[in-house]
Amino acid sequence: MSKSALITGVTGQDGAYLCKLLLGKGYKVFGLARRLSTPNLWRLKYFDIVDKIEILDGDLLDQESLATAVKKAKPDEVYNLAAQSFVATSWTQPILTSEIDGLGVVRLLNAVRSFAPHAKFYQASTSEMYGNSHTNGKQDEQTALHPRSPYAIAKLYAHWMTINYRESYDMFNCCGILFNHESPIRGIEFVTRKITDAVARIKLGLQDKLLLGNLDARRDWGFAGDYVEAMWLMLQQDKPEEYVVATGENHSVRDFCSAAFGAVGISDWEKYVGIDKRYIRPAELNILQGIPNKATERLGWKPKVTFKELVQMMVEAELKRLSSNRSHQSLASNLIHDSEQLKKEIKVKNI
């Protein structure tokens, strides 16, 4: 019999990639999605998988809806990817972020414990939990945690609650400490997609300038398609544990700009980029670079897409998307519509 999985955050970047992966493995996939005034299914449409999964109504803020979803899905595996995931917004909405990213996880753990106690559980933990803490400039599973944003603090609470439920109730709970991972369907407000979108627009003559914050921040950027494989592998092990998932390299925002503009043949990119202090965070993380040795040794996991290939993939997707927007012909027009709308909102909110 095929396995069944419940994915929260199914409408997000990782949710869409994970759905695609699990459908390919023959899983019956249930996706939890919250009610919005306009359905947000563009990423699932991008992979043409909306009709291949069952979407269940639910919200991490609503205990009853989580219980109902777990009872309905009877999952063998639960992947908790839902979150208010934009770090900058966590300073303007710290309480909502804590409710969703912190207490929301406990609500879900309670529902799983009550109605699917044998399900394996994955929690989307994050490298943000390290803050500026490091061991010789890098982070692994042993590095001290010192979160520096309301987002990271809520995630740290959820991380320890997931471990606590494992230790207290013998649940099969794993936390993946994932470093930044990106793709052509990354949210438009994250710096990588903001850059690749702007680069394509500048190349096509649709935009003049790109305004950014801290160009010196360094991140360990990988490809989302690779990272969801690590999530799945964690739940296939005999023992539930924590794993760092990263490429083991770091690059600055400046490096990302240079590579993205370079991908469309623009070398004098600095003349298109300005600094706007609205994008500087109240507390910044200078450098994140993971050591994924445990994931490599125990899970046999390795990233396949390099930094250069990731940037190239994202820039090419933007060019294709913007061109098909002009002809209004492809499925991707949905994506364009949403991204345009989001960009307008972002402008209004100054994020």
Query: Counting contacts by CB under 6 A, is residue 102 touching ligand NDP?
Result: no
Q: Shortest approach of ligand NDP to residue 151 CB, angstroms?
A: 7
219 in contact with ligand GDR (CB under 6 A): yes
Q: Does 187 bind ligand NDP (CB under 6 A)?
A: yes
Applying CB under 6 A, the site for ligand NDP has a residue count of 27
Give alpha helix (H) positions in the chain: 13-24, 42-46, 63-73, 89-92, 94-97, 104-115, 150-169, 191-203, 224-235, 253-263, 293-294, 307-327, 332-349
Amino acid at 5: A
- Choose which of 120, 148, 194, 251 interacts with ligand GDR (CB under 6 A): 194
153 binds ligand GDR (CB under 6 A): no
**Of 60, 119, 317, 335, which one interacts with ligand NDP (CB under 6 A)?**
60
Q: Min. distance of Cβ 350 from ligand GDR in angstroms?
A: 11
Q: Which member of 17, 122, 130, 151 is catalytic?
A: 151
The verdict on whether 316 is a catalytic residue reads no
Q: Is 147 in the site for ligand NDP (CB under 6 A)?
A: no
Does residue 226 touch ligand NDP according to CB under 6 A?
no
Q: How far is CA 26 from the centre of its chain?
A: 23
Is residue 138 within the footprint of ligand GDR (CB under 6 A)? no
Residue 4 or 214 with smaller CB distance to ligand GDR: 214
Mark the segment that binds ligand NDP (CB under 6 A) among 5-13, 49-57, 137-145, 322-330: 5-13
Q: Is 247 in the site for ligand NDP (CB under 6 A)?
A: no
CB of 191 to ligand GDR, least distance (A): 4
What is the DSSP annotation of 16-71?
HHHHHHHHHTT-EEEEEE---SS---HHHHHTT-GGGSEEEE--TT-HHHHHHHHH
3-state secondary structure of 275: strand
- The answer to whether 85 contacts ligand GDR (rule: CB under 6 A) is yes
Helix (H, G, I), strand (E, B) or coil at 252: strand
Strands 54-57 and 77-80: unpaired
Instruction: Pick the piece of the chain touching ligand NDP (CB under 6 A) from 11-19, 141-149, 191-199, 319-327.
Output: 11-19
> Cα(212)–Cα(338) distance, rounded to whole angstroms?
21
Partnered with residue 5 across adjacent β-strands are: 29, 77
- Please indicate whether residue 122 is annotated as part of the active site: no
Q: What is the DSSP string of 231-245?
A: HHHHHTSSS--EEEE
- Find the part of the chain contacting ligand GDR (CB under 6 A) among 49-57, 191-199, 243-251, 324-332: 191-199
Q: From CA 18, how far away is CA 31, in angstroms rounded?
A: 10
φ and ψ at 55, to 5 degrees?
-90, 130
Does 213 engage in binding with ligand GDR (CB under 6 A)?
yes
Q: Which residues pair with 79 in a beta bridge?
A: 7, 122
Of 17, 97, 128, 229, the catalytic one is 128
Measured in whole angstroms, the distance separating CA 45 from the mean position of its chain's CA atoms is 18
**Within 13 Å and on the Cβ side, how many CA atoms surround 90?**
25
188 scored as a contact of ligand GDR (CB under 6 A): no
**Binding of ligand GDR at residue 253 (CB under 6 A)?**
yes
64 catalytic per annotation: no
Which of residues 113, 190, 272, 324 is near ligand GDR by CB under 6 A? 190
Cα 121–125–131 angle (5° rounding)? 165
| 12 touches ligand NDP by CB under 6 A | yes
225 binds, among ligand GDR, ligand NDP, none (CB under 5 to 8 A by kind): none
Catalytic machinery residues: 126, 128, 151
Interface contacts to ligand GDR, rule CB under 6 A: 85, 87-88, 126-128, 179-180, 189-192, 194, 212-214, 217, 219, 253, 279, 281, 284-285
